[in-house]
Amino acid sequence: MKPHFSQLLEGNNLSFEETKALFNACFQEDVSDTELAAILVALKMKQPTAEELAGLAEVIHTSSPFQFELGIPAMDNCGTGGDRSNSFNISTCSAFVLAGAGITVAKHGNRRISSQTGSADVLEELGVSLNLTKSQLKYMLKENQIAFLFAQHVHPTLKQIAGVRQKLRTPTIFNLVGPLTNPVALSSQLIGVYSNEALPIVAKSLKTLGRKRALVIHGAGGMDEASLQGENKFILLEDNELKDGSLHPEEVGLSVYDNQKIEGGDAKVNAKILLSVLNGEPGAYLDTVLFNAAIALFATGNVDSIKDGVEVAKDSVFSGNAKARLNALVQYSQEIKREVV
């Protein structure tokens, strides 16, 4: 570990293989919290590269006991966090809209780290189990089009690092790499990032990791989600090529809202907001979810345009399909809990 750590301290980039060696050592050796924090800060100071992201993602993949092939196309819409926007759980809510539209979503997420309320916190508040077994996750993904993969559960080797990240309270390489580490074999992906600088890094990492199709977006006003506030920058991975683009909500028939209109709160507050969206209550919360779900539908290749995706997302909400996917996941979670008791 020490030679590669010294390289980082000197401001030098690591190769894909060097990054794998460094983090394999971190996960296998008796490394202190102080040493882990120093590595994360050193990477942050020099800015992680695409090779470093891909190398770390590969290590996390191979160390997860929850890796599996689903046998059908699956996607994830997990963002990086770290934008300090205090927004509600946009991608979590959008995931149910996607599932209601027939997309299989392996929703990967965590508890709050650099955000106010993480996806795990709000789903737990709603009654979703965070600790389903691999076979239970497979069942839900095939029968319900959505399951939640709690990062701390599916990546037990990262428990110590989660504690270090919580103490640092600042975005690190793990914010960027988190969405790349889903143990389910994904065919497509939507990732929101907290800065324009992170766009090409994450997009190149997705290409290195072999995603067939993906979209990485940075929202107006500095958000790690698509924002209704104005112009959103993105990079589309398609046919093994990276293509830059931008998107304004008015281009797809949605109104402009300031980001302050979509602020959330603690898990209880955000759970109420999520339910209001799935119940079709009009306003900035709903439109933001429709926007993000539409972009995710385009990222999967299931619609020809994001504008078409908005209509598909609306149908998922107003037909009740999106809320039905949440209700089914909650019901299954409660059934599993009763069986254990």
- Which residues are known binding-site members? 79, 82-83, 87, 89-92, 107-115, 119, 165, 224-225
**What residue numbers does the annotated binding site for Mg(2+) cover?**
91, 224-225
Paired residues of 190 in beta bridges: 215
Structure tokens at 22: 């460094």
Across the chain, where does the E strand assignment appear?
Answer: 75-76, 105-109, 146-150, 188-192, 213-218, 232-238, 241-247
**C-beta separation of 54 from 171 below 8 A:** no
Task: Output the CA–CA distances (angstroms, integers) from residue 54 to 27, 163, 181, in the order listed.
Answer: 16, 22, 9
Could you list the residues known to form a binding site for anthranilate, using ranges.
79, 110, 165
- Extract the annotated binding site for 5-phospho-alpha-D-ribose 1-diphosphate: 79, 82-83, 87, 89-92, 107-115, 119
Give the Cα separation of 85 and 115 in Å (integer): 8
Question: 169, 164, 170, 193: which is closest to 78 by C-alpha?
Answer: 193
Helices 119-126, 90-100: inter-axial angle, 10-degree rounding: 60
3-class DSSP assignment, residue 93: helix
